[in-house]
Amino acid sequence: MNDDSRPAAVRAQNVVKSFGSGDTQVTVLKGIDLDVYLGELLLLVGESGGGKTTLLSAIAGILDIDDGQIEVLGVPLSGLPSSKRTSFRGQTMGFIYQQFNLLPALTAAENVAVPLFIQKMRRPEALRRARAMLERVGLADRTEFVPKNLSGGQQQRVAIARALINEPRLLICDEPTAALDGPNGQKIMQLLREVGRSPDRCVIVVTHDSRIFHFGDRMANLTDGRIVNIEHIPQEGTA
Amino acid sequence: MNYVALKMLFGDRAKYLMLLCGLSFAVMLIVQQGSIFWGLMMWSQASITNVNVPIWVTDPGIAQVDEVKPIADTAVDRVRSIDGVEWAVPLYKGLLRARLPNGEYHQVTLTGLESATLIGRPAEVLEGRFEDIRQPDAVVLDQWAVERMGGPTVVTVGTIFELNDKLARIVAIAKTQKSFTNIPVVYTTYERAIHYVPRERRTLSYVLAKAKDEIPVEDVIRRIQSQTGLGAFTAEGFGMKTIVWVLKNTGIGINFGTTILLGFIVGMAIAGQTFYLFTVENLRQFGALKAMGTSTLTLARMIILQAFTVGLTGYGVGVGLATLFGFLAAHGGNLPFAETWQLLLLVLVALLAICIVSASVSIIKLVRLEPGIVFR
């Protein structure tokens, strides 16, 4: 699957992951080979239960794999102890979830600042940078709102700001538009597209939403634990 | 991340108030029940507290202060003769029936004090002069006696009533601690007390004594025991002996102990379970923090901070409510309520222990928490 000369942000080789044991053992990932390059937005699609979220968790270093190897930005994740992996994740990755996973008690600015709090940045500075980031995603007038007072699209934009505040090189998105209506989903994907175009970053998006396929650079189809095909998506004006 | 932990705790007001109410209620229940129990125990040794002397000498087989076992009158001089005793005086204590001017009968505890020194007299006098007890037929009542005998309209300074068909004239009303049995206490001189009660071969109930300042009380007590063969106790020791007797020989120990134990278990179970549920409900949020790179150690510290913050707040509110109850309900000594620092410390330690346990259980859950929960 290594069909590109660009540097790989993520390199998965023969990744195998099973759950359960004995007769009830289910192999979810059956030898995945996948490279994701800097400067691209990769869409990961496929039927439900095909292993997309499992692969995403493995790439994030959240889930241990049974066999194979995953390198993120040149670092083999399976070789890192759990605490180092957690720290590496905090420094290099950003996450966007289907359900946003904002902390309900915190304001939008505080939510965005959480990754900076984790890095032990002082609160006033963290909040200043969070407000600036919220301005970038078009929420300058919502910085002190708690999530319940924001619309779904606004909440997802807060989640994106939170994911970007640490300037992560790898952005992992799980169904980022599933809880949004069409126009809001398009806006969110536009934002992610801009992030993905940055030459030192890449974005992986798991999605079922065919309305956003055109935002991707490539689309990998994961079915029954295997990548069945990867296709380049023609960009507007380049097809 | 302490800021985030506290915002998570205080942010959801409904959950936080529920948690705080559970903990406060638990603490209040334990402190209130414990204070009532200990107040009751204090009442059981009121005879010792009210007399307020350091050494009690009596029959060695005595079980508790209200179970009088008379000793020979010579005991006073024998105690006085022991090296290290500064002074020793006789005390009469016994039950007698009083007949009021309105014809009513009341059982009273007659307390006879040595007339020269009046050692053992109550410290505070509400009405009249205690020294007038030396006048002919004079007696002093405690305020509970006035209450039990019909109030100030029936019994007051100047009222004359009968003790064993002999005249007794009230010259003062003294303030004392209420006793367990709440039998009215009538004070008089030792000699007159002997005059009031039916003739017996032995009339001396107790010898009250004090050790010389430079000699430890325990040494003097040992000397009294070995040289007279009598039982000698410190006031604290005699009080504790009385409490132990009450606990062993009445249903109070088991009944109240069960109530307190249940209150303690229920209270602590509420506290632990409430906090555990709070953490479980926030697991997804903790999972998100873990996925974002928060170490398990940091998350554990956040949970401990939350547990101790809510625990200490609940402790403060609970103790405050229990104290308020004590102030309102037990004000003036009408209800037994003794909120001691030992009880407060015990409850604090227990509460912190339960906070640590519930936080630990939550932390174990957190350690096992797969951050992938956030992808579901």
Q: What is the 3-state secondary structure (H, E, C) of chain B?
A: CHHHHHHHHHHCHHHHHHHHHHHHHHHHHHHHHHHHHHHHHHHHCHHHHHHCCCEEEECCCCCCCCCCCCECCCHHHHHHCCCCEEEEEEEEEEEEEEECCCCCEEEEEEEEECCCCCCCCCCEEEEECHHHHHCCCEEEEEHHHHHHCCCCCCCCCCCEEEECCEEEEEEEEEECCCCCCCCCEEEEEHHHHHHHCCCCCCCECEEEEEECCCCCHHHHHHHHHHHHCCEEEEHHHHHHHHHHHHHHHCCHHHHHHHHHHHHHHHHHHHHHHHHHHHHHHCHHHHHHHHHCCCCHHHHHHHHHHHHHHHHHHHHHHHHHHHHHHHHHHCHHHCCCCCCCHHHHHHHHHHHHHHHHHHHHHHHHHHHHCCHHHHHC
Given a cut of 90, whether residue A9 has pLDDT beyond it is no
In this prediction, residue B187 carries a pLDDT of 94
**Which whole number is the average pLDDT over A156-168?**
86
Are the beta carbons of A90 and B372 separated by less than 8 Å?
no
By the 8 A CB rule, do A37 and A4 touch?
A: yes
Q: How many CB atoms lie within 10 A of CB B334?
A: 11
| Contact residues on chain B for A106, CB-CB shorter than 8 A | 4, 7-8, 11
Given a cut of 50, whether residue A93 has pLDDT beyond it is yes
Given a cut of 90, whether residue A112 has pLDDT beyond it is yes
**Which whole number is the average pLDDT over B13-30?**
83
Average pLDDT, chain B: 86
Given a cut of 90, whether residue B320 has pLDDT beyond it is yes
Among candidates A53, A86, A97 on the partner chain, residue whose Cβ is nearest the Cβ of B295: A86
In this prediction, residue A145 carries a pLDDT of 92
pLDDT 10s digits, B95-154: 888 898 888 898 899 999 998 999 989 988 999 999 999 999 999 999 888 888 888 888
Given a cut of 60, whether residue A2 has pLDDT beyond it is no
**Which whole number is the average pLDDT over B330-334?**
70
**Between the ranges A1-15, B45-59, B331-345, where is the mean pLDDT highest?**
B45-59
The residues spanned by each domain of chain B are 2-43+251-375, 72-229
Are the beta carbons of A110 and B7 separated by less than 8 Å?
yes
Percent of chain A with pLDDT over 90: 17
Is the minimum CB–CB distance between B10 and chain A shorter than 8 Å? Answer: yes
| Range of lowest pLDDT (A87-96, B317-326, B341-350) | A87-96
Are the beta carbons of A95 and B292 separated by less than 8 Å?
yes
The residue of chain B with its CA nearest to that of A171 is B292
> pLDDT class for B286, splitting at 50, 70, 90?
confident
Mapped onto helix, strand or coil, the DSSP state of residue A161 is helix
Percent of chain B with pLDDT over 70: 98
Is the minimum CB–CB distance between B288 and chain A shorter than 8 Å? Answer: yes
**Which whole number is the average pLDDT over A7-15?**
88
Are the beta carbons of A101 and B372 separated by less than 8 Å?
no
Q: Which of A176 and B226 is assigned the larger pLDDT? A: B226
Given a cut of 60, whether residue B192 has pLDDT beyond it is yes
Q: Is the pTM above the cut of 0.80?
A: no
Please measure the distance between the N-terminal and C-terminal CA atoms of chain A and give it in whole angstroms. Answer: 22
In this prediction, residue A5 carries a pLDDT of 67
Residue with tokens 């109070």: B252
Are the beta carbons of A87 and B295 separated by less than 8 Å?
yes
Given a cut of 80, whether residue A179 has pLDDT beyond it is no
Angstroms from A111 CA to nearest CA on chain B: 9
What are residue B189's DSSP bridge partners?
B113
> pLDDT class for B333, splitting at 50, 70, 90?
low
By the 8 A CB rule, do A98 and A175 touch?
A: yes
**Which whole number is the average pLDDT over B54-74?**
88
Angstroms from A239 CA to nearest CA on chain B: 34
Angstroms from B6 CA to nearest CA on chain A: 10
Is the minimum CB–CB distance between B305 and chain A shorter than 8 Å? Answer: no
In this prediction, residue B130 carries a pLDDT of 92
B133 by Cβ neighbours in 10 Å (0-12 / 13-18 / 19+) ranks as buried
The residue of chain B with its CA nearest to that of A89 is B293
Helices B341-368 and B13-44 pack at an angle, to 10 degrees, of 150
Given a cut of 50, whether residue A1 has pLDDT beyond it is no
Given a cut of 80, whether residue B370 has pLDDT beyond it is no
The residue of chain B with its CA nearest to that of A176 is B375
In this prediction, residue B111 carries a pLDDT of 93
Q: Write out residues 7-66 of A within 8 Å (CB-CB) of B.
A: 53, 56-57, 60, 62-63
Among candidates B287, B292, B296 on the partner chain, residue whose Cβ is nearest the Cβ of A118: B292
Angstroms from B293 CA to nearest CA on chain A: 4
Given a cut of 70, whether residue B302 has pLDDT beyond it is yes
Given a cut of 80, whether residue A183 has pLDDT beyond it is no
In this prediction, residue A128 carries a pLDDT of 94
In this prediction, residue A78 carries a pLDDT of 79
| Contact residues on chain A for B4, CB-CB shorter than 8 A | 103, 106, 110, 114, 117
Given a cut of 90, whether residue A113 has pLDDT beyond it is yes
Is the minimum CB–CB distance between B323 and chain A shorter than 8 Å? Answer: no
Q: Which of B128 and B257 is assigned the larger pLDDT? A: B128
According to DSSP, the β-strands at A8-19 and A67-72 are: antiparallel
**Integer Cα distance of A138 and A161 in angstroms:** 10
Among candidates B3, B293, B370 on the partner chain, residue whose Cβ is nearest the Cβ of A90: B293
Given a cut of 60, whether residue B33 has pLDDT beyond it is yes
Angstroms from A228 CA to nearest CA on chain B: 23
> pLDDT class for A239, splitting at 50, 70, 90?
very low
> pLDDT class for B374, splitting at 50, 70, 90?
low
Among candidates A97, A104, A118 on the partner chain, residue whose Cβ is nearest the Cβ of B374: A97
> pLDDT class for B327, splitting at 50, 70, 90?
confident
By the 8 A CB rule, do A206 and A56 touch?
A: yes
Query: Rounded to the nearest 5°, which phi and psi values hold at B12?
Result: -90, 90
In this prediction, residue B256 carries a pLDDT of 76
By the 8 A CB rule, do A192 and A205 touch?
A: yes
Among candidates A57, A60, A83 on the partner chain, residue whose Cβ is nearest the Cβ of B295: A83
pLDDT 10s digits, B341-351: 998 998 899 88
Q: Write out residues 155-174 of A within 8 Å (CB-CB) of B.
A: 174
> pLDDT class for B193, splitting at 50, 70, 90?
very high
Given a cut of 60, whether residue A199 has pLDDT beyond it is yes
Are the beta carbons of A101 and B298 separated by less than 8 Å?
no
